[in-house]
């Protein structure tokens, strides 16, 4: 069962690069058409390798959702979704429903995931998510 009408959607990813560390932040990769503060996000879902093995850019998706929390920041740099466990944002863990948000303008590259436990994670994997959005001008 679906719980929203999809206006636009885009897969995003957070690459685990550099080094793995508890408390370390990994920011969303830049997507040019979403980087101009011109999108209003109203839904989000995350994936593990059991739902999707690789991202559209060819990166391996993390195998487990435990040990990862997500923070979304708006265009005023306010954290409106702060350290939400990735596990709770996976559709299959929510009766098949997408997590709905109060629509907000986001700055995608200010949004990040944070590691709370590195035991099931590997360097250069990606945390994959899908955002549901609309353009500010409504087109």
Q: pLDDT digits over 73-93, tens only?
A: 998 999 999 999 999 999 888
pTM assigned to the model: 0.90
Q: Tell me what pLDDT residue 105 has.
A: 92
Whole-angstrom distance, CA of residue 35 vs CA of residue 124: 23
Q: Where are the domains of the chain?
A: 10-135
Q: pLDDT digits over 14-66, tens only?
A: 999 999 999 999 999 998 877 766 789 999 999 999 999 999 999 999 998 88
Within 33-90, residue ranges assigned H as helices are none
Q: Tell me what pLDDT residue 2 has.
A: 56
- Asked if the model's pLDDT at residue 5 lies above 50, the reply is yes
Residue among 63, 55, 67, 66 nearest 23 (CA): 67
Residue among 97, 110, 116 nearest 23 (CA): 116
């Amino acid at each position: 069962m679906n719980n929203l009408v999809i206006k636009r959607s885009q897969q995003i990813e957070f690459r685990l690069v550099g080094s793995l560390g508890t408390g370390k932040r990994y920011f969303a990769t830049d997507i040019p058409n979403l980087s101009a503060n011109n999108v209003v996000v109203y839904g989000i879902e995350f994936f593990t390798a059991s739902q999707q093995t690789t991202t559209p850019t060819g990166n391996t998706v993390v195998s487990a959702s435990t040990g990862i929390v997500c923070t979304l920041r708006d265009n005023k740099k306010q954290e409106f979704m702060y350290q939400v466990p990735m596990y709770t944002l996976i559709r299959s863990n929510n009766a098949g429903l997408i997590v709905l948000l109060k629509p907000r303008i986001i700055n995608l590259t200010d949004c990040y995931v944070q590691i709370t436990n590195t035991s099931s994670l590997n360097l250069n994997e990606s945390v994959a998510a899908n955002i549901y959005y609309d353009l500010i001008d409504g087109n």
